[in-house]
Every structure is written in structure tokens, then in C-alpha cells.
Structure 1
Amino acid sequence: MRIEHGGQSYEPEYLIDGTIMRVSLDEALGAEDGSLSLSMDFAFQIPEYGADRMGQFDAAAGTVFQLAQWYPRMFVFDDVNGWNVMPYLGQGEYYLEYGTFDVNVTVPREMIVAATGTLENPGEVLTAEQRQRLDEARTSDDPVTIIGRGEAGEAGTRPDGSGPLTWQFHAEEVRDFSWAASESFIWDAARAETGDGNPALVQSFYPEEGIGSGPAKGRNAGWEHSTEYVQHSIEHYSERWDAPYPYPTATNVAGIVAGMEYPMIAFCSVESRGPSLFGVTDHEFGHEWFPMVVGSDERRHAWMDEGINTFINQYSTLAYYDQSPAQVRQSFRAAVREGAIDRAADRPILTYSDRIPYDQLGFLAYNKPAAGLFLLREYVLGAERFDAAFQSYYDRWAYRHPQPADFFRTIEDVTGEDLDWFWRGWFFSNDRIDQALTNVSTSGDTTRVQVAQQAGLPMPVELRIERDDGSAATRRLPVEAFFSEDTYTAVVPGDAERVVIDPRGYLPDVDMDDNAWSDGAGIRAPGGSQ
């Protein structure tokens, strides 16, 4: 190991504690423009299967190597915790800093390499025909074959000569670098519009084992449609959230890893097909925005990338398959309601990643925070207000390190809404929602509807009042109506025949039996909202 700093070059003292190394400097590194150079030799053994982050897939035409978390990483120094000296434990990804990477990957000549960043020396590692095809792909909306099914592994796919080749990659403003290599790769590519006039090159690398059958939206579609899936994801997220994809490439690699994201590159299962392959591809490339650009502390707050990403994934899936938002509403409602009733997760969302029991991780890091943001957008704030705030969060915290409070404050700041009640109930605690009709009475042309919030998390109340003349009206009670008392009585005109809470079916209410009233049948009437 060697340090170059302030015109001096020396071998520093260092201490290794488990997977953490502390390097002692002879002289403190100054703030602002202070810099030094640290060089060291290290070795890394590629595991056969590395905790679904990396590994080896034995394809018939040659092993697919997926490499991640393979080099020493710097801890982040931030203005909240100072040095974030937290070892990697597998649950909760690395908290990483941004930088520029120049990486040379030397591999046997027969191998093709896919990696974070832009390939800097295509003339040395690709044939003339491959370079021509790649140039065509940069301007094509349809995938262009770079190495075809019958070409993978053949000698003609490699430049003339003998001995290993060095692939040179360059990446800026990224927090990590990952790569894959194999002689079995089929390779296709296309362009994706990002909305800022700088299209991205979207690519897929996969062995023949990844090929499926049928159309892209069919159940058996395979990796031959991966580039179309990546293209959709990059274009959708760029446009949907007014956040142009900032990087020049987006690459999907098939192998042993079920699904994992890195800057400009994702590893997904070679065995995935149809909606499963689309889903994992879309999820991993959604991560290019969260946390690859908005660099949250994944080590502590998994929900800030997994939950937010799962939330935006819902709209991407709806757009690709032309589905109704009702499917998302019903899915989230059922999942959170079931989790609340069964107390499947006894910890709040804000529990640190490594302190969440493994069987609760999917609920607390992915589904519940995503469902909360969906409710916030669709039920509490409305799309226009939420979208403006969400876009502001992205803009304000791109290439920075937000904490949960920064997300909460940004949403409140831009919407002009005090949402403490929501953050407290949904994120800081595991409170439940239980709205109820506790009394309905009619007198002449007036109906009095008493509503109660019977659990810890109050929410705005939507009422549908159906009158005996066949007409109907909707009344919305703001959550502030329940701040001082758990009940509120709404007075509505007309003689009600039926009253229903949450008629659109958004809330994961733990007891829906008391959500409907029918004249003559009482509160717990059959046919209540289910």
C-alpha cells in the first residue's frame, strides 16, 4: 500500500478489523480541495454463488462470470454520522460515495465483457463488423444484433491475434463498478430516448440458455426481449418523473444472480421468463434513479431505495402491459392489510436494514413503503401535488446523500402539507388503519354520519352516501377532523339509504365489517366494502 499526499510518498500504517481497514495518514487530509492518492494490491476470489450479488453460471458455451463488490470501497463521510463505518452484512446494501472510474479488465481473448460505463477501446476488442452493428444500434429503436445466436463463442467474433485482451471502461458520477464476462454471450442493443437529447445505449448480454419463446408480453418470453424491457424502463422513468436517465449505457446481463442493480448494469436470472423477466429487469433499472443517482444510505434505510423503487415500478408495469391502476390498488391494499392483521411485521419501516428479521424484509423494505407512497399520491395528496414534490426530491438530492427526514421535508415543503401524522403512523410506527361507521341517523332531509378512527393511524375519510331517490354523493373528511377526537359527525343532505366508507377501495382497513351501513340493516350490513 502506498499514499501520495502533499508531494510526499510513503507506506502508511493500517489496521484490519474483520472486513474493515483503517489507514492512518501522516498528515490530515484538508477539507474543500484536499486530495491524495492511495494505491494497493489486493486479490479477489470469484465465488460460485455470492449471496445473489455475483457468481458463475455454467452455460453450455462457456461460464458466465458476474462480478460485483470485488474491490476495496471507501466508507462515506457525511454531515450526519461522519465516517459511516458499518460492515457489510448482506442485508442492506453498501452506502457508497460518487466518483469517476477508469477500469481495465483483462480477460482471455474469447471472452466478451459487459460493464459499468462506456467502452473506451472498441477498436481493440471488437471486430469491424461488431463496431458497425453497435453504431447502428445507437440510432435504432429496434434491437440490433451485435453477436447473434449462431455466432456466440465462435472464433470469428474476436479480433485477429492471440493472447488476452484488455477492455477499457470509463464511468463518471457513479458509486460503484461491476462487470461480467463470458464467451457464451449473445449480444443485442438499441437506443433509448431519455428526454434530454442524449439517448442511452441499452444492451443485453445472455447465453443461449436465456432464450425463450413467444412475444415480448407473453408468458414465455426470454432474454431475446430483454433489450426491449430495458428500453421501456429507461424511457418510462425518464419521462414519467421528468428525470432523464443521466448515463450513456444501460446493460442487462443474464446469469446466476436472480436480480441485482449496479450503476449502468444489472444482473438478472437467466431462467426468468415473461412477466417475471420484465419485472426483475424493470425493478433493477428503476434503481438507476434510486439509489444510483439519489444516493441514500442503503445500509441503514433500505426502504429509501427498495420501497421508493417498488413504488415507481408499479406505474412502469401498468404502462408496459396497459393495465388498470385498480390492480395496484388492490394488490397493495391486500398486502398491507394482511400484514397489519397478522402482525407479520412487528417493527416500523424505519428499522435499520440489518435489524429487520429476514422474513419481514420484503414487507418493511419493499411493499409497505411502496404502498404508503401509492396512498400518498392517489388518496391523500393527489397526483399533481405528489408528482411535483417527488420530482423535487430527485432534483434536490441527485448525487447527494438524503436521510429519511430529507425525503419527508421535501414532500411537505413542495406540497405545502403537514404530513407528520402520516409519517408517524406509516413509517415511524407500525400503527394500523381502522375506520368505522359508529352511528348513522336520518331526520327528515338530513343524515348524520358518525365516523371513528379506531386504530393508531388516522386517514382522510371518503364517504359515499346513496339516497333513497337513487342519487349518490361523495363526502371527504380531512384527517384534521380527527386530531382532537377519534370521532367526527358529518351532516349531509338527503335521506340516506346506504353509506360506505372508502368506496374506491384504497385503505388497508383491518376491519371492513363496520365500513358500510344500510337502512334497516345496521352498521355491519352484508355487502359492505370488502
Structure 2
Amino acid sequence: MPLRLTVLAALALGAALPAAAQRVLPYPVTPPPQFERAVANGTRSPTGAPGPNYWQNGADYDIDARLDEATQTLVATGTITYHNNSPDALPYLVLKLRQNVHAPGVPRNRPVAVTGGLALSRLAVGGADLRDVTVAETPGSYSGSVEPGTYAVNGTVLTLGLPAPLAPGDSVALDVAWSYPVPPATGTYRQGTDGEVTYIGYWYPQVAVYDDVMGWHTDPYLGNGEHYMDFGRYAVDFDVPAGWLAWGTGRLANADEVLTEQTRGRLAEALTSDDVVHVITEDERGRATQPGTDGRLVWRFEADRVRDVALATSDAYVWDATHADVDQDGDGDDEAVLINALYRPAGERPMEAPWERSAEFSRFSIEHLSDLIFPYPWPHMTAVEGVITGGMEYPMMTLIGGDRSAPSLFGVTYHEIGHMWFPMIVGTNEKAYTWMDEGLTSFDTNEGVAAFFDGSSEARPAIDAWDRARQSHYALAGTGEAVAPMRHNDLFPIGGGTREVDAVQGGARVVASYSTPAVLLHALRGLYGEPAFYDAYREYARRWEYKHAYPYDFFNTVENRLGEDLDWAWTPTLFDTWTVDQAVASVQSEGGAVVVTVEDQGRAPMPAPVRVTYADGRVEDQTVPVETWLSGATTAALRFAPGEVARVEIDPGQFLPDVDRTDNVYPAEPADL
């Protein structure tokens, strides 16, 4: 029995522990019964790898969409072919209508513009129209109680009763027609229009995830959290006015039909040149496309193994392009990934930032992340300016706005591109476990900032990406206002917190989902060393690319690769809000040795690396192992070689998330005035 379980068992039985052992100990990670059943069924495994019986459903989407630029209305039709790869017969399907967050009377956890939402004009299976049985309230619409051949809409969730259950291994085709007004930028958060730029996101009926752990995921979209999506194939025809630029997730399949020969030539140059190519300049706007038919053009985008599709269009954009060198095939030879930056010229965009460097920032991000995790697999990466004040990721696309310095624009660009790995390829449930995409991507972003801003030039001044002032974890840690990261996104408190953030988003949500997991990973990297840590980190990504990972898959993979049980790290920081607080209690010469006593003043146990620097320049390192704290102790003594001590420091690499470093050094350093 593990040591901490022995101690917990003793406490449960009322047994007395030694005085030194009277401390609260971390509880073990206990997956929910649904996950344990998945392990027993062989779809998951105790090592963190997908099990031999792992399966995953998905859908193909063939969509024709037209933007009415005068009314900013999107009108679309499409066919959705859903593939049931599960062992279960499915009597009903669940679809997400996320644009209904803008419909009257729909529950929301943040304010949005009420524009009417998504209007379905047709929903059919096998050519037969289904009957809409939606009422003001539709009891059971999440549970599949709708009758065969009918459907019901409840807010952002549609339940569809199939004419006959969809058998394992079978597919079903849905014909859909819909429209919606594109919401204004002032009343939305991740897509919309500001009158010049239109960004189309969360815009089509999408089949919800049915997975091996929980079955159907029917969480409504309330506006604050993001999503859980299946992987599929997409073919999208996007009809916009001629002269407007359009870009979308996937490969532009008809470039010769929509772009002029000059524009295509510049794009080809961007794939070979080391410089940023100005594909469309300010003066060339409106003249870079073909004339079209009746003043309109249809752009066709095709993508495979993506979880979503976004579209962007404007007649105000200039277009820069370059390429990233990525060994996509693993054969040792780099392939050229097209890098695009679409933005309004300086003085025309509502918020200023050095967008002229966007292509440079995006190229570095793709290449660095490809080395950090695994190679970027898709044909392009496109950064789009406008509409929002933050950043938002979609497969192969980012949407970025706000007044920004160069470091700020680089940071948000790298972060949103980092999401191409988590969760666009390693598919996680962002609503239930936001930290799995935001926390891991925040860790990656800090690594990217440190690598780019390395002091090598005036344009790349040195930045300490892991400086505590940059990590919002420390703003709430120990204040009583922090919230554990393992909380459903819709259940975080609104507002509050001591950190100055969007009051609607809430400081606790931002800290818990972004910064706290990142500083935990930073600590593990410091404790286990870069080679071992990155071996585990990359193995998790490789195991779960294009699959659906749960937190327990991440925990189990890291532990499997490091060869250690890390519940002492997971539960205090991710399931709870315990803090690390270690201190140098005393430094004494005893029996021909220097004895350093370390006190663990916090609840979250972590190994305590201690360095003694002697007056003659000698350095000796030792570590209080985490097992000492897990035995119940709150103090530990380390014996170092004799000599005149100049300095003693806990965590000299400064990778532990210690909430109070003022007592980590002996002799005590003077406080900043």
C-alpha cells in the first residue's frame, strides 16, 4: 500500500500518529466510475494509452454557405454524415446549435447580443423531413425522449429522434438548411462582425460528442466556456462578394478560380522565400481576386481530421505570407507550411498592434511548437486581425484583436497557435476540463516567449517568461479566492478575485485554467529535468493525437513515463487549492557538518531542492524528497559538508510554485523598498 494511503488509513481508523506526522496529506486521484468502466472495457488503459478497444465517432460535413454582406446574414445548406463507430445502437442524435446563445430567452453566463440565433429551415434524415416538436420548454430533450422522426431544440442543444436506431458501424445522413444574423463585435466574444471584418465561427449545426466514457455530451453552450468536438472531414463552399478576401480552415481547393495569377504567384513565392511576401498590399485591395459571376465568388475549403471550421472575409484586408519549415512526414526533410497574416493597415484597424510582424511571429510559433511537441500537420496557419479584443483559436486559424505591443502580440499569437496541438489535435473536453487546453498551452506559451525574446536583438529583447510577476497563479494562491482547476467551466464564480481581469470572465477561472496548471508543469519539469519531463509530455500528445483525452489519461501517461505516482502533485493543485510554502528554518554547524533544517509550511507537498554555497565557492545540492512530507513530517534536516556557509537557498532554479520565497534564502535577503 502506498505510504500516503497507509497514513490516510491510520487517520480513518483513529490511530494516533507521531507528533511530527500531524499534517493534512493529499488524497489519491480517484477517477469517476464512468472512466473506470472505460478502462475495464478496454477503451482506456491504466498506463494512459488508448486501450485496444478504443473507438471514436465522427462526422463529415459538406456545406454551402453564403454571406449577405448588406445584412450580415449567413445562409447555408449542408449534408452531415454521422458515423457510429461505437458498440452501441443510437436511437437519437444530439446536435449543438451554438449560435442560439444569441437567441431570446436562452440561458447564458455572460452577456451577448440578442440577434435571434440560428433559424433551422430544414432538418431531414434520408430525404424525409423531421417534425419539429419544440415547445417553450422541452422536457427530456437532453435524454433522447423525442419520438422517432422528430426533433426538439432546447437552447443550444437539439435532440433528433432517428427513424430507426443507428447500428454500430453504420452511418446516417442529415440534410440541414439554416441561417442566422452574424452578431456584432460588441455583442460577442469569439466571432462576429465589426462592419469591415466578418469572422464566422460556431456557425453550423454540429453533432455532439458521443464518447466511450460518458456517452452523449449534452452541455449547453452558455457563452463563457469553449467546447468538446469530434474530428471529421469538411468541404465548405463560401460565397462572398468578388474582391473580398476569404480564408478558412483547410486547403483552398480552387485558388485558380478565386485568385488572380499575380496573387497565386506571390503565394508560391512565399512557400520558398525566407522573407515575408506582401501578397496583397494596401493599394491592391479589391483587385486580387477573379471577377466572379454576378459580382460574387465561391471559395472552396477542404479539411480532414479537424474538429471545426472557421471562415474569415473582408474587403479591407492586406495579406502577408511566408512559410514555416516543418518535417511533417518524419523523413528528415522539411515541408513548407504556408503562413498567412490578414489585417487592416495601420491607421485603419480599430485597435493598434504591430501586425506587420504577425507573419514572422506565426512562423516562429509553428516551427517552435513543432519542435516542442510534434510536427504541425496541416497545410497552412492563418492569423486574422479584428472583431475581438483577445485571441481565439480554430483549426488552422486564429482571430486576434486588441491594442498590443510586440511582446503582447507575439504572446497571444503563440498562445492561439499553440492551441492547434491542445485541443485541436489532442482533443479534450474544454468545457469540463478547461485547464487541459488552456493550462498546457499557457505552459507552451511561456516556453515560446522565452525562446523568442532571448535578447538576441533589439527586436527580441530578453524576457523572463517564468518571472513570478507574469504568473497570475500567485495573485490568488492562498488568498481564499482561488478555485480548483478541475471544475466545469460553467461553474466558476463570475467576477471577484484580486486580479484585474474581465469581471465577467472572473479572476478565479482565468487563474485556475491558465496559470495554475502551467506553473505546476513548470515545477515538474524542474524536478524531473527536461529530458524526462518532455519525454512524458510528448508521449501524452502522441498517444492522444486525433483522439479524446481525459485528465486521467494525462495523469497516467506522465506517471507511466516518469515511473512515479504523482498524486501528491495532481490533487493539491488541480483538484484543490493547496499551496506550496517551504522555508529555511535554521542553518547550524553540528558534529562536523552543516545542518540545514527545512520547514514545510504549506499544505501542498513537493520535493525541496536545497543548495548550499560556501565562502570558498563550493556548491553542494541535496533534496528533501516528497516522501518525507508524505510521511507526515513538517520539518526535515539535511547534512552538508562542513565549511563556512555564504548562502543557503531552497529551489535555486525557482521552478517550485512557492507562495512566499522571502524565507527560502539564508541569510535572509533585504526586502525590496
Q: Considering the TM-score relative to the shorter chain, is it more than 0.5?
A: yes
Residues 389 and 529 of structure 1: CA distance in aligned 2, closer, same or farther (over 3 Å): farther
1:373 aligns with one of 521, 532, 536: 521
- Superposition deviation, residue 425 in structure 1: 1.4
Instruction: Determine the C-alpha separation between the residues in 2 that align with 1:337 and 1:30.
Output: 51
2:175 aligns with one of 28, 39, 56: 39
Deviations 1:503-523 (A, max 9, x none): 3333333344443444xxxxx
Alignment of 1:76-475 (within 5 A): 76-153=209-286, 155=287, 157-159=289-291, 162-196=294-328, 197-209=334-346, 222-241=354-373, 243-257=374-388, 258-269=390-401, 271-322=403-454, 327-331=464-468, 335-345=472-482, 347-357=483-493, 358-377=506-525, 379-467=526-614, 471-475=618-622
- Superposition deviation, residue 40 in structure 1: 1.4
Residues 158 and 313 of structure 1: CA distance in aligned 2, closer, same or farther (over 3 Å): same
Deviations 1:87-106 (A, max 9, x none): 11122201111101100111
Deviations 1:474-521 (A, max 9, x none): 222221122212222222220453533223333333344443444xxx
Alignment correspondent of 1:509: 658
**Structure 2: 5+ residue runs without aligned partners?**
1-121, 131-148, 329-333, 456-460, 494-505
Residues 268 and 453 of structure 1: CA distance in aligned 2, closer, same or farther (over 3 Å): same
Residues 392 and 211 of structure 1: CA distance in aligned 2, closer, same or farther (over 3 Å): farther
Instruction: Answer whether contact 1:127 1:159 (CA < 8 A) is retained.
Output: no
* Larger relative contact order, structure 1 or 2 (CA cutoff 8 Å, min sep 6): 2
Instruction: Determine the C-alpha separation between the residues in 1 that align with 2:355 and 2:628.
Output: 53
SS of residue in 1 equivalent to 2:383: strand
Instruction: Answer whether contact 1:283 1:309 (CA < 8 A) is retained.
Output: yes
Residues 147 and 514 of structure 1: CA distance in aligned 2, closer, same or farther (over 3 Å): closer
Deviations 1:350-392 (A, max 9, x none): 1111111222122111111111111111x21110001001110
Residues 156 and 423 of structure 1: CA distance in aligned 2, closer, same or farther (over 3 Å): closer
Deviations 1:65-99 (A, max 9, x none): 11111111211001111100001112220111110
Instruction: Determine the C-alpha separation between the residues in 1 that align with 2:574 and 2:405.
Output: 34
- Superposition deviation, residue 528 in structure 1: 8.6
Counterpart residue type for residue 206 of structure 2:
R
Identify the range of structure 1 (318-327 vs 229-238) with the bigger mean alpha-carbon deviation: 318-327
SS of residue in 2 equivalent to 1:191: strand
Instruction: Determine the C-alpha separation between the residues in 2 that align with 1:137 and 1:29.
Output: 47
- Superposition deviation, residue 240 in structure 1: 2.3
Residues 157 and 20 of structure 1: CA distance in aligned 2, closer, same or farther (over 3 Å): closer
Instruction: Determine the C-alpha separation between the residues in 1 that align with 2:289 and 2:371.
Output: 37
Deviations 1:216-244 (A, max 9, x none): xxxx8622221111111111111122x11
Residues 161 and 506 of structure 1: CA distance in aligned 2, closer, same or farther (over 3 Å): closer
SS of residue in 2 equivalent to 1:25: strand
- Superposition deviation, residue 529 in structure 1: 12
2:161 aligns with one of 24, 30, 55: 24
Identify the range of structure 1 (347-356 vs 394-403) with the bigger mean alpha-carbon deviation: 347-356
SS of residue in 2 equivalent to 1:350: coil
SS of residue in 2 equivalent to 1:462: strand
Instruction: Determine the C-alpha separation between the residues in 1 that align with 2:447 and 2:256.
Output: 40
SS of residue in 1 equivalent to 2:304: strand
Alignment correspondent of 1:215: none
Residues 181 and 326 of structure 1: CA distance in aligned 2, closer, same or farther (over 3 Å): closer
- Superposition deviation, residue 263 in structure 1: 0.4
Instruction: Determine the C-alpha separation between the residues in 2 that align with 1:55 and 1:425.
Output: 40
Deviations 1:324-353 (A, max 9, x none): 9982332368643332243331x2111111
The yes-or-no answer on 1:488 pairing with 2:636 is yes
Instruction: Determine the C-alpha separation between the residues in 1 that align with 2:563 and 2:462.
Output: 26
Instruction: Determine the C-alpha separation between the residues in 2 that align with 1:285 and 1:89.
Output: 25
Instruction: Determine the C-alpha separation between the residues in 2 that align with 1:210 and 1:369.
Output: 38
Instruction: Determine the C-alpha separation between the residues in 1 that align with 2:250 and 2:627.
Output: 50
Measured on the aligned residues, the alpha-carbon RMSD in Å equals: 2.4
Instruction: Determine the C-alpha separation between the residues in 1 that align with 2:211 and 2:292.
Output: 49
Alignment correspondent of 2:118: none
SS of residue in 1 equivalent to 2:533: helix
Q: TM-score, normalised by structure 1?
A: 0.90
Instruction: Answer whether contact 2:620 2:640 (CA < 8 A) is retained.
Output: no
Residues 467 and 255 of structure 1: CA distance in aligned 2, closer, same or farther (over 3 Å): closer
Instruction: Determine the C-alpha separation between the residues in 1 that align with 2:355 and 2:520.
Output: 33
SS of residue in 1 equivalent to 2:481: coil
Identify the range of structure 1 (246-255 vs 131-140) with the bigger mean alpha-carbon deviation: 131-140
- Superposition deviation, residue 44 in structure 1: 1.3
